[in-house]
């Protein structure tokens, strides 16, 4: 019997030995997307995947990860794990996760499947093929895990339908659509590097730790299961950047431009995560600002110091993102609070304990700027006038977040930040220098953005009244509004008031 | 070599124990943080590495270093791996 090859050799045989040169058709016709972005690849054989995972090992480990996860999901369901949460209001963070993030995993699955087809290098094909399968697994395991919550709580019933239509979900959707409608090299720079390497730790690590902190064993498990793949994806992100800039000097400027653009695009999406982390987790293990300091300032600082030898620098406008770290979650959650009558999750004025935690974590900003606003909302609620903003917000043409960010970097945190560009005789509004820069670079692309409020006004979203639009979103009347008085709250209270014979809380009407 | 900090985060589970202990044994200056539920964050300046020999010794049986994939949460730096070692570094 032949001697077993070592890891390097096995990987080499798999990724170099299985390729071939096409003879029936010219190579450019077989891989038509590889050149039009201006990227020059001289030698795909220089591609070196740092994780030399071969197909047999990949399937073995992935099967083991799934086995572990599904054992936990079963056990969670059998033991009514949802009753051990810190509070049912925690589930609101899961609603945003499955509506906003799981469909992105599916989008990534399709995106990487396309790369596996479009790249001509076998090493890159293999890495993208594995990532495509990983992303499909993530989207499936998230749906399977959260389906248990769907039996007991509102807003979780039709996330993929919602993702393609709803105003706050157009924030993550438009970012992924932006990347997926670009060429293969821009897509991989966007998702593998700007999103996965630079920013994804901010989404998964504190959020999964937060799940553990709030008694959500099931989410911790799918999160960690996904995250083990994510580590491999991050190294792919770093590898692709190094590979592109080493291949040809002309690639540097193009790649830097994509890093700048997609860092800002992905950062704006994570505004939702900041609100989940600081406001929607009843017990937060770490604030957005603390996570930003560790995973962006320290970690990406070290990364870009390392990448400086290739001529790469920190993404444009990163200073503004860091300036905003003490404001972001407060501003985003305020927008969610005001419009939650048109959302499939609940919001509420933070509790006294939560506000004290926010004061402690945000000593420079919370008491000065944001606590007074929450106290005003609390007072209004007490008077029976819970504030809902009945207008439709103007969205940023690029990130699609309501235009409620402020001029933090200019030292005016209470002044709304708005930028305008004229293009083909029309005015386009953006929320920041970062988004305006992106618009101005590719106005033809962003002029076509599908902005939910515009679409509502044009009559494309089910009708003119809010209930019509909510029906078009597949929202049920009990999905939105304040957490206090919600069906979820009633379910939770009833469940915890049950006597010993009953094991499952009644679902209230 | 750059002195910049790099990290690896592993699940805080029994399956991760031989790996965590190997990082401890083979990187005497590394710092171990347990402040976030469910995970262990291991930090060091410029370099972190483990060998198959030490991990197998700690596990009490032969370990394939790629089993690290089962307990990995996140990492930074450049990865270099082979049958008998796994290393992270900044260049």
Task: For residue B19, give every residue at least 6 positions away whose Cβ sits within 8 Å of its Cβ, in sequence order, or none.
Answer: B10, B50, B55, B68, B71
Where do the domains of chain A lie?
37-388+466-492
Backbone φ, ψ for residue B8 (5° rounding): -135, 140
Q: Which positions in chain A touch B80 (Cβ < 8 Å)?
A: 50
Q: What pLDDT, on a 0 to 100 scale, did the predictor assign at position A429?
A: 98
Q: What pLDDT, on a 0 to 100 scale, did the predictor assign at position A506?
A: 46
Other CB atoms within 10 Å distance of the CB of residue A461 = 21
Determine the structural domain holding residue B33 and report its residue range: 5-71
B44 to chain A, closest Cα gap in Å = 12
Each of the 91 residues of chain B gets a pLDDT tens digit; together they read 446 889 999 999 999 999 999 999 999 999 999 988 889 999 999 999 999 999 999 999 999 999 999 999 999 999 999 999 999 999 7
Q: Which positions in chain B touch A238 (Cβ < 8 Å)?
A: 78
User: What CATH code is assigned to A37-388+466-492?
Assistant: 1.10.620.20
In a domain, B88, yes or no: no
Rounded Cα gap, residues B33 and B24, in angstroms = 12
In a domain, B38, yes or no: yes
pLDDT digits over A151-199, tens only?
999 999 999 999 999 999 999 999 999 999 999 999 999 999 999 998 8
Q: What pLDDT, on a 0 to 100 scale, did the predictor assign at position A464?
A: 87
Question: Could you tell me the CATH number of the domain that includes residue B42?
Answer: 3.90.56.10
In a domain, B60, yes or no: yes
With an 8 Å Cβ cutoff, are B38 and A309 in contact?
A: no
Please list the ranges in chain A whose pLDDT falls under 70: 1-2, 498-509
Q: What pLDDT, on a 0 to 100 scale, did the predictor assign at position B3?
A: 66
Q: What pLDDT, on a 0 to 100 scale, did the predictor assign at position A1?
A: 60
In a domain, B80, yes or no: no
Q: Which positions in chain B touch A220 (Cβ < 8 Å)?
A: 37-38
Q: What pLDDT, on a 0 to 100 scale, did the predictor assign at position A297?
A: 94
pLDDT digits over B41-66, tens only?
999 999 999 999 999 999 999 999 99
A193 touches chain B (CB under 8 A): no
Report ipTM (2 d.p.).
Answer: 0.90
In a domain, B18, yes or no: yes
Q: What pLDDT, on a 0 to 100 scale, did the predictor assign at position B32?
A: 97
With an 8 Å Cβ cutoff, are A232 and B69 in contact?
A: yes
Closest by CA position to A50, among listed A231, A242, A191, A236: A236
Task: For residue A21, give every residue at least 6 positions away whose Cβ sits within 8 Å of its Cβ, in sequence order, or none.
Answer: A27
Number of domains comprising chain B: 1
Buried b (16+ CB within 10 A) or exposed e, A247-282: beeebeebbbebbbbbbbbbbbbbbbbbbbbbbbbb
Closest by CA position to A189, among listed A39, A305, A318: A39
CA geometry: angle at A181 spanning A178 and A185, to 5°? 95
Q: What pLDDT, on a 0 to 100 scale, did the predictor assign at position A52?
A: 85
Among B11, B75, B90, whose Cβ lies nearest the Cβ of A306? Answer: B90
With an 8 Å Cβ cutoff, are A209 and B71 in contact?
A: no
């Amino acid at each position: 019997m032949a001697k077993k090859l070592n890891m390097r050799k096995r990987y080499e045989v798999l990724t170099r030995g299985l390729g071939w040169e096409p003879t029936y058709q010219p190579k450019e016709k077989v891989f038509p997307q590889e050149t039009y972005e201006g990227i020059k690849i001289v030698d795909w054989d220089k591609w070196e995947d740092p994780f030399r995972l071969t197909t047999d090992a990949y399937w073995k480990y992935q099967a083991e990860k799934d086995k572990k996860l599904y054992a936990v999901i079963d056990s969670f369901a059998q033991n009514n794990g949802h009753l051990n949460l810190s509070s049912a209001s925690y589930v609101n963070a899961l609603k945003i996760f499955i509506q906003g993030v799981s469909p992105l995993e599916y989008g990534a699955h399709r995106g990487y499947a396309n790369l596996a087809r479009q790249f001509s290098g076998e090493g890159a094909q293999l890495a993208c093929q594995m990532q495509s399968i990983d992303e499909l697994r993530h989207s499936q395991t998230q749906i399977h895990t959260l389906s248990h919550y769907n039996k007991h709580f509102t807003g979780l019933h039709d996330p993929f339908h919602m993702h393609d239509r709803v105003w706050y979900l157009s924030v993550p959707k438009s970012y992924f659509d932006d990347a997926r409608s670009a060429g293969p090299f821009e897509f991989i720079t966007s998702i593998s590097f700007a999103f996965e390497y630079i920013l994804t730790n901010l989404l998964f690590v504190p959020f999964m730790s937060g799940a553990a902190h709030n008694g959500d064993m099931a989410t911790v498990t799918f999160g960690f299961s996904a995250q083990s793949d994510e580590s491999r994806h991050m190294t792919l992100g770093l590898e692709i950047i190094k590979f592109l800039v080493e291949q040809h000097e002309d690639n540097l400027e193009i790649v830097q431009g994509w890093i700048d653009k997609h860092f800002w695009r992905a950062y704006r999406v994570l505004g939702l995560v900041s609100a989940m982390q600081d406001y929607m987790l009843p017990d937060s293990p770490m604030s957005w600002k603390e996570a930003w300091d560790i995973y962006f300032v320290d970690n990406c600082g070290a990364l870009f110091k390392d990448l400086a030898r290739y001529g790469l620098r920190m993404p444009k406008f990163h200073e503004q993102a860091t300036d905003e770290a003490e404001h972001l979650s407060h501003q985003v959650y305020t927008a969610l609070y005001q419009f939650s009558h048109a959302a499939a999750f609940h919001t509420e004025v933070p509790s006294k304990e939560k506000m004290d935690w926010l004061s402690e974590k945000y000593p420079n900003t919370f008491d000065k700027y944001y606590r007074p606003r929450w106290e005003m909302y609390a007072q209004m609620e007490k008077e029976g006038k819970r504030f809902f903003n009945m207008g439709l917000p103007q969205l940023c043409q690029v990130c699609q977040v309501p235009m409620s960010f402020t001029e933090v970097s200019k030292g005016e945190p209470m002044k709304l930040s708005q930028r305008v560009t004229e293009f083909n005789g029309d005015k386009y509004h953006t929320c920041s220098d970062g988004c305006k820069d992106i618009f101005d670079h590719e106005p033809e692309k962003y002029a076509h953005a599908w902005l939910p409020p515009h679409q509502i006004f044009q009559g494309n979203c089910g009708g003119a009244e809010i209930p019509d639009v909510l029906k078009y979103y597949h929202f049920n009347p009990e999905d939105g509004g304040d957490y206090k008085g919600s069906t979820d709250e009633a379910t939770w209270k009833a469940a915890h008031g049950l006597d010993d014979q009953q094991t499952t809380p009644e679902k209230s009407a | 070599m750059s002195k910049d900090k790099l990290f690896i985060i592993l699940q805080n589970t029994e399956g991760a124990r031989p790996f965590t202990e190997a990082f401890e044994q083979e990187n005497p200056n590394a710092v171990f943080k347990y402040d976030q539920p469910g995970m262990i964050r291991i930090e060091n300046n410029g370099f972190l590495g483990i060998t198959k020999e030490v991990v197998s010794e700690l596990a009490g049986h032969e370990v394939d270093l790629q089993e690290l994939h089962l307990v990995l949460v996140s990492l930074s730096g450049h990865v270099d791996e082979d049958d008998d070692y796994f290393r992270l570094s900044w260049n």
